[in-house]
C-alpha cells in the first residue's frame, strides 16, 4: 500500500493499481475507485486500455469522495471520541 493511493484519494484521481489486498478492501468497501490490473499478466497494457473504455468517472469520483470523507481529520476525531473518553 503506497502513498500513491493516498494521494489519489486526496486529489480525487482515478486509481490504477495492482491487485493487492489493501486496495481490494477499499474497492469492496466503497465500490469502484478506478482500475485494478495484474501487471504480471501478459498483455496487461491492452487489458488496461480496454478497462478505460468502461470507466464511469462520475461514479468513481463519487466513491473516492466517500473514502476521502470517511478518512478526513474530522471523521478520525469523531471516531476517537467514540472510542476514548477524554
Res 48: pLDDT: 92
How far apart, in whole angstroms, are the C-alpha atoms of residue 32 and residue 15?
A: 9
pLDDT digits (tens, 9 = 90+) for 34-86: 999 999 999 999 999 999 888 999 999 999 999 999 988 888 777 776 667 65
Map grid coordinates 476521502 to a residue.
68
Q: Read out DSSP for 10-74?
A: HHT--EEEES-HHHHHHHHHH---EEEE-TTSTTHHHHHHHHHHT--HHHHHHHHHHHHHHTSHH
Is this model's pTM higher than 0.85 or not?
no
Res 73: pLDDT: 83
pLDDT digits (tens, 9 = 90+) for 1-37: 678 999 999 999 999 999 999 999 999 999 999 999 9
What is the widest separation between alpha-carbon atoms in the chain?
Answer: 55
How far apart, in whole angstroms, are the C-alpha atoms of residue 54 and residue 52?
A: 5
Amino acid at each position: 500500500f503506497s502513498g500513491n493511493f493516498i494521494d489519489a484519494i486526496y486529489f480525487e484521481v482515478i486509481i490504477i493499481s495492482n491487485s493487492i489486498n489493501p486496495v481490494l478492501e477499499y474497492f469492496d468497501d466503497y465500490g469502484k475507485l478506478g482500475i485494478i490490473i495484474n501487471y504480471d499478466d501478459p498483455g496487461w497494457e491492452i487489458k488496461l486500455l480496454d478497462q478505460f473504455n468502461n470507466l464511469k468517472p462520475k461514479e468513481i469520483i463519487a466513491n473516492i469522495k466517500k473514502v476521502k470523507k470517511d478518512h478526513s481529520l474530522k471523521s478520525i476525531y469523531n471516531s476517537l471520541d467514540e472510542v476514548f473518553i477524554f
